[in-house]
Structure 1
Amino acid sequence: MDKTLIANFAAALLAIVNPIGNLPIFISYTAGERQGVQRWLALFISVTILGFLLLFLLTGTTILKFFGISIAAFRIAGGILLLLTGIGMVRGQQMQRTHEIANQAQYDDLVEAESVYRKILIPLGIPIFVGPGSISTVILYGSQARDRLTFLALMGIIVAVALFTLLVLMGSLWTRRVLGKFGLDIATRILGLFLAAIGVQFILSGLADATVNFISPDIQ
């Protein structure tokens, strides 16, 4: 068992998935929902992280190659989605959208959560929580696992990160009560600006990878 590889993978994956840093985004998407719905959504997002990362760990680059998609192209597409989402958050469109979704699905918590989840999976689940960074990290470390125990340990790390994300997102209920509706609206708009900037950075990084550092060439 390669303990160094496992430790590095755990640190890298936790930093990239970044459940604590992404908590405000989750709050902004679920602000108009009941507590029971928010708990179900936290579970759905965590299962999404678990399912997709395990899938890419097991299949490696096969899926991307099958569709002819490079990590750079995936990064650019994700950046465009984040940019559009950030602009919508700055303009206050996201809060309005969550209230509209809530009004359209006045059922029990699970049914309403399923309705909301279908609408926010992109970009909340992908590419915010499961994006090019986490996918490439999983593929890279998976390819370096030389024995079965190490590979199983990498799977265990993914499970642990998903569970930690679930616990963090469950804490959004407390954060929402502290901020209040007005504070949450202000935080959402400020966060939207940063999210748009992250989207632009994703696009630039993807273009740099796709053009072999054409945007930021190495100067000898």
Structure 2
Amino acid sequence: MNDWISSFVFFFAVIDPVGTLPVFIAVTSRHAEWQKRKIAIIAVFVATAILLLFLVGGQYLLETIGVPLSAFQVAGGVVLFLFALTMIFGEGKPEQEMEIVQSGHETAIFPLAVPSIASPGAMLAAVVLTDNHRFDPIHQFRTATAMLAVLGIVLLLLLTARWIYRVIGDAGASIVSRVMGLILASVATTNVLVGLQQFFAV
């Protein structure tokens, strides 16, 4: 159960469902309510398909090109740490992706499905948390359910975005993103340390 909770928190931090709300609201500002629901469903569906693809085949791709998972884990941990720092000290996820929206790419696929929901960090998490050399199929299945649970929360938040955003506003979404950034930084550090340990143990 603790492993499931850890995976859930990890995915919640890298996907950042609350931080997606301002992006979704900006993207769908000129759409009718039924269109907003359709966009939310499509975005989450596409993001789920992408993350499941990485969860199932990401490690095989790395092994095919000769990259050990430990090296990928260290590199990914560094990238995640830098991403976490931008969440904490720089522009939060809402501000960054609002700029993408304002550049004219207003679709369910971009920037909602990618990179808002299926972020690079989420893709990395899908690969690292289902390492075939460290985790058995039961653990991998639990990780998949944790990821799907977070995506379910994303869909629920998007479908109720109008009411939620009235309560938290831009400031609330930014605060949540920064808290998630702090959690993500600690997770990224752990990934680097574990990856180094595995790399030098080989």
The Cα shift of 1:27 comes to: 2.4
Q: Among 65, 70, 73, which residue is 1:72 paired with? A: 70
> CA distance change for structure 1 residues 40 and 92 in 2, over 3 Å: closer, same or farther?
farther
The Cα shift of 1:15 comes to: 4.3
The Cα shift of 1:69 comes to: 1.5
> CA distance change for structure 1 residues 83 and 43 in 2, over 3 Å: closer, same or farther?
same
Q: Which residue of 2 aligns with 1:210?
A: 199
5+ residue gaps, structure 1: 1-10, 145-153, 214-220
Mapping for residues 38-187 of structure 1, pairs under 5 Å: 38-55=40-57, 62-93=60-91, 94-105=93-104, 107=106, 112-116=107-111, 117-120=113-116, 121-128=118-125, 130-133=126-129, 135-136=130-131, 140-142=135-137, 163-173=148-158, 174=160, 176-177=164-165, 178-187=167-176
Instruction: Provide the C-alpha distance between the structure 2 equivalents of 1:81 and 1:41, rounded to a whole number of angstroms.
Output: 24
1:19-66, CA deviations, whole angstroms, 9 ceiling, x for partnerless residues?
79606713224532236344433222222232233336xxxx643322
Instruction: Provide the C-alpha distance between the structure 2 equivalents of 1:19 and 1:166, rounded to a whole number of angstroms.
Output: 12
Instruction: Provide the C-alpha distance between the structure 2 equivalents of 1:95 and 1:181, rounded to a whole number of angstroms.
Output: 8
The Cα shift of 1:16 comes to: 5.6
TM-score by length of 1: 0.65
Instruction: Provide the C-alpha distance between the structure 2 equivalents of 1:124 and 1:179, rounded to a whole number of angstroms.
Output: 25
Instruction: Provide the C-alpha distance between the structure 1 equivalents of 2:147 and 2:176, rounded to a whole number of angstroms.
Output: 25
Q: Which residue of 2 aligns with 1:3?
A: none
Question: Number of paired residues?
Answer: 182
5+ residue gaps, structure 2: 29-35
Amino acid at match of 1:49: L
Instruction: Provide the C-alpha distance between the structure 2 equivalents of 1:80 and 1:15, rounded to a whole number of angstroms.
Output: 23
Maintained 8 Å contact 2:70/2:199? yes
TM-score by length of 2: 0.70
User: Could you say what the CA RMSD is over the residues aligned between the two structures, in angstroms?
Assistant: 3.5
1:137-169, CA deviations, whole angstroms, 9 ceiling, x for partnerless residues?
598435x9xxxxxxxxx88x7886665444222
Of 75-84 and 115-124, deviating more is 115-124
Amino acid at match of 2:18: I
Q: Secondary structure at the match of 1:31?
A: helix
Maintained 8 Å contact 1:30/1:98? no
The Cα shift of 1:100 comes to: 0.7
Instruction: Provide the C-alpha distance between the structure 2 equivalents of 1:122 and 1:85, rounded to a whole number of angstroms.
Output: 11
Maintained 8 Å contact 1:25/1:188? yes
> CA distance change for structure 1 residues 158 and 184 in 2, over 3 Å: closer, same or farther?
closer
Structure index of larger Rg? 1
Of 198-207 and 172-181, deviating more is 172-181
Q: Is 2:16 the counterpart of 1:25?
A: yes
